Structure 1
Amino acid sequence: MPGSAWWVWAMAAVLFALYIALSVRIHERILSNSYDLGIFEQVVRSYADGHLPVSELKAPGFPVLGDHFSPVLALVAPAYRLWRTPVTLLVAQAALIAGSMVPLVRWARRLLGDGAAAVVGACYGLSWGVASAIGFDFHEVAFAAPLLALSLAALGDGRPRAAVCWALPLLLVKEDLGLTVAVIGLLVARRGARRLGLGTAAAGVAGSLLTILVVLPAFNPGGDFAYWSYLGGAAGGTGSGSGDASGGTVLAGLLYKGTIGLVTPEAKATTVVLLLAPTLFLALRSSLLWAAVPTLVWRFASTDPVHWGTAYHYSLVLMPIVFAAFVEALAARRAREGSVRRYLLGAAGVCLLLLPQYPFWQLVQPATWRTDPRLAVARRLMDRIPDGATVQASTLLVPQLTNRTTVGLFGWEPSRPDSQWILVDTWTPAYKRWPLTVEIERNRLNWQRAHGYHDVADEDGYVLLERTG
């Protein structure tokens, strides 16, 4: 379509600002988490300091390349060297996700016109999957969003080589995304570029198998992929590689479990409905939607109920896929019916109905912009901990310390038993207190006092202990 597309970039800039406002404000209110913002900052800090990534939060000196294969995070390191704060990660994530809207909207603009493209961009940028990711810390899958959007827009636009070139870097984002690359390869083959597509599919499968069966076990102290227990039916998997299912057993049963479990329990069916509802289920009309299957299969095959629902970051990689399928389906429907206005109005309506249920709604809540006076106390006590110290802290305090200390999670067994400092928020609500209950936390603090720690401060619920000697 001729004419300027300046408004596409303006829309991306508005979304970028919105994402930063939400994620940074959550962090400023000391509501970001050790798992996962704290872990990812420790990873990026490792790269910035010139060595392979380790995370004190997983265990002292734990090699993160033995947990998940995400070397793409090294790309954040140069910015982090200049701005050593977790906000650097949040800004990078906001830029990646806001930028992922651009190829989808530009493609929709060519097929459907400015008005339709603007609706698609707004519905994508404000979608619940994006909101859930922005509202919960930082995650490596932020890199997958623009890569998927670029790849699927190119594929839908009849540019198979570009589609493959944008898909292959997904192998460096996370180990499971090789299977998504494989499906994209099959779609490329189905649409005419047979040799290119089949080669891409083989590369995707090989990439996932190599990382899961070779690379991750080589780095993992336990010598295995850390998440077999989630996928093999071992209830209560710990992610430590201690599950009782072998890799071969899990791979053989994964597809079966994921597809059988598509609608049970109810949370899985709800997730599928909410994925498709913003497109009025038109996404089902496009074969691009097949790219969502690998992610849905591993999530629904998991024994962890957290993976089944719509919270956290797990649906972020699905949003570019669903909306790419929506664009292609709209174009086909327009060719038959001449107008797709009613579908766009319906999609916008669903988006608006879902907004109050997800984190973007926090931006219009007065509580988001009020500052709890206790936070000044927390920051004053954190300032008493010197740079470079070893620390154990409550989960919400950890990301406030990861940029300048070696910090682990208080009450998490792999944490250093002899950290120089302990900082605990004893007034944290129970649902944000992970991994401890109030009683266990109290008992642990008393035990620490009896075994070499003394009180430095106890103010407004914040307890600061220092190791004696």
Structure 2
Amino acid sequence: MHAPPTDSATLPTQQSALEEETVAQPSTESRSAVTWWIWALAGALFFTYMALSLRLHQRMLTNAFDLGIFEQIVRSYANGQLPVSEVKGPDFPIFGDHVSPVLALLAPLYWLWPSPSALLVAQAALIAASVLPLTAWARRTLGTMAAVLIGLGYGLSWGIASTLGAEFHEVAFAAPLVAFSVTALGTGRLRAAVFWALPLVLVKEDLGLTVAAIGLLVAKRGERKLGIITALCGLVGTLVAMLVVLPAFDPSGSFGRLLWLGNTGGGESSVGDLLHSATIGLITPQAKSTTLLLLLAPTLFLALRSPLMWIALPTLLWRFASDYAFHWGTTHHYSLVLMPIVFAAFIDALVRRRPNPSSLRRYLAGSVAVTFLLLPQFPLWQLVQPATWRHNPRIAVAHRLMDRIPDGATVQASNQLVPHLTNRTSVSLYGWYASRPNPEWIMVDTSVPLNLRWPQDAITERIALDTARAQQYRTVAEQDGFLLLNRRG
């Protein structure tokens, strides 16, 4: 055997190759388990998420739709019952609205802490947990500094911020499941990818399509049989939920429609409408294009270079084909499941490109810059606003009046009062057409600002209250714009 040449002409080539390999595979030592700082990063993000969510609730900025609904669901599970929501309608079976049996996992926590705050803390923990696999993967393949920046970019991304500003939703369970699954897929651990993906069918009915996309990628990467079975399980899960479970539980019997027709109940869609949704309608109105742009911008559009982005396609398709405008934009919780996919694709794209250290630093700096430029436009920015921490004496008045309502009573209350009553009363939304009629108690905030007022405008609400007081309700208390009524007799 002959020793390899070591003349000066070959040294730059060897050094360049070594640098490239260092970017993709930093060291054997870096393959160890998640290090303490990754846990610290996830912990810091958890406390950040929790602080925002709890403060919004303390300021009475959470709503009957959706925190009130979800607490009633979890409360049903905690009481050993099938989930119902009084906010949706009298004894409304929630499986007629969405199929999310995963929420039963929160029942033990609710036994210990029967409060909507328990749901908000659980959501913060679930989303923070999704940081772990992505950051650990970035550390193993791109180095520690890259992992820190990607972890921060993901943890502070607008999709997560929008979710936290929208109270609680069941898709919080999807965040860690998707993150662990796509990370395993990106690192070639195909069976682990399937293991993490399959529970998504229990989170929400549309996520079976995400499972199907993961299964197809697993099949393409070598585990053909496993991938096809996974894809079929995901597809069957969505079809059973949409065509069997939802119609069976929906009290109106009108849920026999396809997922992408939305949930506005706006009537039948023509063939022309469906063709439009499948073509031009996927990129118009402008909100859809804006969402796509903001989704890819934090990765400098490098995520498009990774096959992992195919996993985002089912969610994007049903959202943009929906007739429900909130599905199209960047508000609410609809982009949460996309964020771990996009950032996993970003990591995968960087590993595939094998940039030199200087290029890698530029990519990461650009990514972090985009994330921080977007941050003031989304709810996490509220944490640094003085108004978020300012004391409002009206809140104490509201709680003092609500304390006069006995446990177990039937109540109708204003939108933002409902989540403060769901843990101990049978509460529905005042002015909502489906609310239980003739409750024992009515509590209304008549001073709600115009931009937060729903479902009634001020004039309609005043007429309804005057009618109630003239007929069968007496005024128990009236203070600082809050009105508490009790049914006579």
User: Normalising TM by the smaller chain, what interval?
Assistant: over 0.9
Report the CA distance between 1:225 and its aligned residue.
2.3
Change (3 A) 1:195 1:355: same
Given that 2:446 and 2:458 are in contact with CA atoms closer than 8 Å, whether structure 1 keeps it comes out as yes
1:306 match: 326
Distance 2:164 2:146 in 1: 25
Report the CA distance between 1:106 and its aligned residue.
0.6
1:190 match: 220
Q: Secondary structure at the match of 2:354?
A: helix
1:218 paired to 2:248: yes
Report the CA distance between 1:298 and its aligned residue.
1.2
CA deviations on 1:1-23 (whole Å, 9 max, x unpaired) are: 52571100000000000000000
1:127 match: 157
Given that 2:475 and 2:486 are in contact with CA atoms closer than 8 Å, whether structure 1 keeps it comes out as yes
Given that 1:377 and 1:460 are in contact with CA atoms closer than 8 Å, whether structure 2 keeps it comes out as yes
Matches within 5 A, 1:58-97: 58-97=88-127
1:117 match: 147
CA deviations on 1:85-139 (whole Å, 9 max, x unpaired) are: 0000000000000000101111111110111011110000000000010111100
Q: CA RMSD in A?
A: 1.9
1:403 paired to 2:423: yes
Distance 1:423 1:231 in 2: 37
Distance 1:377 1:96 in 2: 33
Amino acid at match of 1:204: G
Report the CA distance between 1:416 and its aligned residue.
1.2
Distance 1:56 1:300 in 2: 30
User: Structure 2: 5+ residue runs without aligned partners?
Assistant: 1-26
Given that 1:185 and 1:196 are in contact with CA atoms closer than 8 Å, whether structure 2 keeps it comes out as yes
1:244 match: 268
Q: Secondary structure at the match of 1:340?
A: helix
Distance 2:280 2:229 in 1: 29
Distance 2:100 2:65 in 1: 16
Greater CA deviation, 215-224 or 170-179? Answer: 215-224
Q: 1:107 aligns with which of 137, 151, 173?
A: 137
Amino acid at match of 1:276: L
User: Taking structure 1 as the reference length, what is the TM-score of the superposition?
Assistant: 0.94
Given that 1:261 and 1:268 are in contact with CA atoms closer than 8 Å, whether structure 2 keeps it comes out as no
1:149 match: 179
Amino acid at match of 1:429: P
1:25 match: 55
2:479 match: 459
Q: Secondary structure at the match of 1:69?
A: coil
Amino acid at match of 1:325: A
Distance 1:38 1:143 in 2: 18
Q: Secondary structure at the match of 1:261?
A: helix
Report the CA distance between 1:339 and its aligned residue.
4.2
Matches within 5 A, 1:310-325: 310-325=330-345
Distance 1:283 1:150 in 2: 17
Greater CA deviation, 73-82 or 437-446? Answer: 437-446
Amino acid at match of 2:170: E
1:288 paired to 2:308: yes
Report the CA distance between 1:296 and its aligned residue.
1.0
Distance 2:59 2:256 in 1: 33
Q: Secondary structure at the match of 2:251?
A: coil
Given that 2:264 and 2:323 are in contact with CA atoms closer than 8 Å, whether structure 1 keeps it comes out as no
1:52 paired to 2:82: yes
Q: Secondary structure at the match of 1:422?
A: strand
Change (3 A) 1:52 1:356: same
CA deviations on 1:187-237 (whole Å, 9 max, x unpaired) are: 111111111111111111111001100011111112342765x8438xxx5
Change (3 A) 1:440 1:351: same
Given that 1:258 and 1:299 are in contact with CA atoms closer than 8 Å, whether structure 2 keeps it comes out as no
2:10 match: none
Q: Secondary structure at the match of 1:293?
A: helix
Given that 1:387 and 1:404 are in contact with CA atoms closer than 8 Å, whether structure 2 keeps it comes out as yes
1:442 match: 462
2:40 match: 10
Report the CA distance between 1:245 and its aligned residue.
5.0
Report the CA distance between 1:431 and its aligned residue.
1.8
1:273 paired to 2:293: yes
2:71 match: 41
Change (3 A) 1:268 1:416: same
Percentage of pairs with the same residue: 63
Report the CA distance between 1:335 and its aligned residue.
5.3
Distance 1:204 1:315 in 2: 20
Report the CA distance between 1:150 and its aligned residue.
0.4
Amino acid at match of 1:189: A
Distance 1:259 1:372 in 2: 49
Q: 1:232 aligns with which of 257, 261, 281?
A: 261
Given that 2:158 and 2:378 are in contact with CA atoms closer than 8 Å, whether structure 1 keeps it comes out as yes
Q: Secondary structure at the match of 2:344?
A: helix
User: Structure 1: 5+ residue runs without aligned partners?
Assistant: none
1:359 match: 379
1:385 paired to 2:405: yes
User: Aligned pairs, how many?
Assistant: 459
Amino acid at match of 2:379: P
Greater CA deviation, 38-47 or 446-455? Answer: 446-455
Given that 2:219 and 2:227 are in contact with CA atoms closer than 8 Å, whether structure 1 keeps it comes out as yes
Given that 1:216 and 1:224 are in contact with CA atoms closer than 8 Å, whether structure 2 keeps it comes out as no
Report the CA distance between 1:65 and its aligned residue.
1.0
Report the CA distance between 1:447 and its aligned residue.
1.7
Given that 2:206 and 2:238 are in contact with CA atoms closer than 8 Å, whether structure 1 keeps it comes out as yes
Distance 1:360 1:272 in 2: 21
Distance 2:260 2:189 in 1: 36
Amino acid at match of 1:65: F
CA deviations on 1:346-398 (whole Å, 9 max, x unpaired) are: 00100110111111110000110012111111011001101111100010000
Amino acid at match of 2:210: T
